[in-house]
């Protein structure tokens, strides 16, 4: 069994690294897909088709308006050991497992599609499998935390 503090920090540290990666790779791209292409965080439409680029842009926009805020608030609340932090972090971790699976499934299915010219899939497999595996592990670890241990001020304020 993993000691509670080690489990806690093995959720927190990679979680903040993932958040920084998402802000850089996805959040900035949400302001314009071509920005991400120039930064090297997105593939040009010439390699993945216009539909592929639109698909990746959709993920970037959804990450900016939904996933990044939920993950950030969840990590912050979890760091403060609040119940709401556990709930939001659980939601964020669910997304963390979900999106890499979607991306890898699309990658495999698009291999024979007209216009799909992605020559090196290895970075996708490495990054997506690593993120999904950590997300699944962190979700299980989060579920194993003592729900009575983290207390937010609202739940501990009692009128005597």
pLDDT at res. 57? 96
Instruction: Encode pLDDT of 101-152 as tens digits.
Output: 999 999 999 999 999 999 899 999 999 999 999 999 999 999 988 765 644 4
The pTM of this model reads 0.88
Structure tokens belonging to residue 115? 């216009």
Question: Is residue 66 scored above 60 in pLDDT?
Answer: yes
Instruction: Encode pLDDT of 10-51 as tens digits.
Output: 999 999 999 999 999 999 999 999 999 999 999 999 999 999
As a whole number, mean pLDDT of residues 80-88 equals 95
Mean pLDDT, the chain, as a whole number? 91
pLDDT at res. 148? 59
Q: Where are the domains of the chain?
A: 17-148
Whether 85 and 73 have beta carbons less than 8 Å apart is answered as yes
pLDDT at res. 12? 97
pLDDT at res. 160? 39
Separation of alpha carbons 30 and 14, rounded Å? 23
pLDDT at res. 157? 44
pLDDT at res. 146? 74
The three-point CA angle 14-59-52 to 5° equals 125
pLDDT at res. 145? 85
């Amino acid at each position: 069994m993993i000691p509670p503090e080690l489990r806690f920090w093995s959720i927190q540290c990679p979680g903040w690294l993932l958040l920084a990666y998402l802000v850089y790779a996805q959040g900035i791209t949400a302001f314009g897909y071509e920005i991400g292409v120039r930064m090297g965080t997105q593939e040009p439409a010439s390699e993945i088709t216009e539909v592929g680029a639109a698909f990746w842009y959709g993920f970037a926009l959804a990450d900016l308006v939904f996933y990044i805020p939920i993950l950030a608030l969840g990590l912050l609340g979890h760091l403060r050991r609040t119940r709401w932090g556990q709930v939001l972090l659980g939601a964020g971790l669910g997304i963390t497992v979900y999106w890499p699976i979607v991306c890898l499934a699309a990658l495999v299915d698009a291999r024979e599609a007209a216009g799909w010219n992605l020559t090196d899939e290895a970075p996708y497999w490495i990054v997506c499998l690593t993120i999904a595996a950590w997300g699944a592990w962190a979700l299980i670890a989060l579920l194993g935390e003592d729900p009575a241990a983290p207390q937010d001020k609202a739940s501990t304020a009692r009128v005597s």
